[in-house]
Amino acid sequence: MPSPIQGKSTFRILMLHGYAQSSDRFRVKARLLTEEISSHLLPHILPSYPDGLEFIFADAPFVLSADDGNSDTSALESRAWWLNLDDVNRYIGLQDTLVELSESLHGQPIHAAVGFSQGGALTAMIAGLCDASTNSTRKEMLRAQGIPVGTFLTNLPGQEPLKFVVCISGFRGTMKYYSGFYAPMLTTPSMHIIAALDTMVADVQSQDLISVFEKPQVVYHRGGHHIPRDRRLLGRVGEFVTLAYDQNQRSEEDQMQSTIVKTMVPSKKSRPVSPRTGKLIMRRRMTSICTFGTHAPRFR
């Protein structure tokens, strides 16, 4: 279990596999993707996260059998984050998954998430949960829908909104039961990768997920329901995560600078000003304005 100090100096990306997969399988299938993210992102994060990147490949809690429609006889386990795949009903086991997933992170917040298929759907939900750390409206909506948002955030003290998410063949959850994840719209920077020949997740399902993000980036690949291996496309993912991180850092620095300036400005109590004093003050102000005017910088 990492110490709090180690956790704070490492940029942690949660990796969520698809239905009937496992963390080991996803690690192999996503190798080129993680290499591309690392090569682009690592130089940018080191000043703030000197221990570098950590890809956290989590295992879904539900082990599938042949009765669940899983015909894979591989020795590797086949798992699921919840036990039904439609976008009409409640998801069996979702609440338990969210609690167990937060517990498995050992009290260390995450900074970003990447998911495939069912894991892509879960990635967007995680973005909503993390956004609830600073968004009271979303937090109340999730709580009202029976989502264990309080437990999730309690298990991850200091958790902040994610810096970015990447959803590959992802889809939106049942709006009737899980709209709190998506409304108000998510401001988390997002990239969505859609397969042109996907027979498992239809384009319209991915478009539904895209619609809940304020500024999504969308790329298509010509393959089917799998993680793309095209270096050019993966390079675009690397460029996206780097840009999202840099923009987030600039925003945080601007907010910090604004806070510092506010704390440095002394508060003054207003006092009544006599007419004569008022004229003197106006003369001083006019003098100051003229002085600044004579030394104004020239803009090219």
pLDDT surpassing 50 at residue 154: yes
Q: Which of 70-79, 183-192, 264-273 has the lowest mean pLDDT?
A: 264-273
What pLDDT score was predicted for residue 89? 87
Task: Please identify, in words, the CATH class of the domain defined by 4-256.
Answer: alpha beta
Tokens at residue 266, please? 């002394």
What pLDDT score was predicted for residue 279? 44
Q: Which of 72-76, 145-149, 226-230 has the lowest mean pLDDT?
A: 72-76
Taking the domains of the chain in order of start, what are their residue ranges?
Answer: 4-256
Name the pLDDT band for 87 (thresholds 50, 70, 90).
confident
In contact, 128 and 98? CB cutoff 8 Å: no
pTM of the model: 0.82
Residues facing residue 193 across a β-bridge: 168, 219
Q: Which of 97-111, 134-148, 238-252, 258-272 has the lowest mean pLDDT?
A: 258-272
Across the chain, mean pLDDT equals: 86
3-state class of 278 per DSSP? helix
In contact, 6 and 106? CB cutoff 8 Å: no
Name the pLDDT band for 253 (thresholds 50, 70, 90).
confident
What pLDDT score was predicted for residue 84? 86
What is the share, in percent, of the chain residues with pLDDT greater than 90?
Answer: 74
Strands 79-80 and 62-63: antiparallel
